[in-house]
Homo-oligomer: A and B are copies of this chain.
C-alpha cells in the first residue's frame, strides 16, 4: 500500500502553506525588509536618501527592489515637480500592515542571536 501525505493534505494546511509562499515571494531577497523598515521609520525618503540609509545596497538593486515593492502596493512612488526632479518613496497603508511581522522577525532573530551568544558559539 502506497502511503500518501496526511498532515499537509488537509485544506487548512494547503491554504496556510500557500499564504506563507505568497508572503515569502513578496518579501524575499536581501534588501526588502531593510527598505521597508527604513521607510516605516523615515516616512518619506528620496532615492538617494534610501541609498545612504540602506547600508551596502547599490543603485541597481535599490531601483529593482523599489519597483517590486511598488508593484505589490507596499511602497508608493511620487515624482515631485521640483528642479532637479526629486522622487518621494513612502510606505503605503498596506506596507504598514507588515509591522507586526517585521517586529516578530526582529524579536525572534534577536532572541536567537542571544541564545547562540550564551552557548558560546559566537
Question: Which residues of A pack against B, CB within 8 Å?
Answer: 3-8, 13, 15-24, 26, 28, 33-34, 37-38, 41-42, 48-49, 52-55, 94, 97-98, 100-102, 104-113, 115
Q: Determine whether the beta carbon of B53 is less than 8 Å from that of A23.
A: no
Q: How many copies altogether?
A: 2
CB-contact partner of A26 in B16, B38, B112, under 8 A: B112
Q: How far is the CA of A98 from the CA of B42 in the complex (A)?
A: 29
Q: Determine whether the beta carbon of B15 is less than 8 Å from that of A110.
A: yes
- Specify the chain B residue showing the minimal Cβ separation from A14: B55
CB-contact partner of A19 in B38, B52, B113, under 8 A: B113
Contacts of A26 in B (CB 8 A): 112
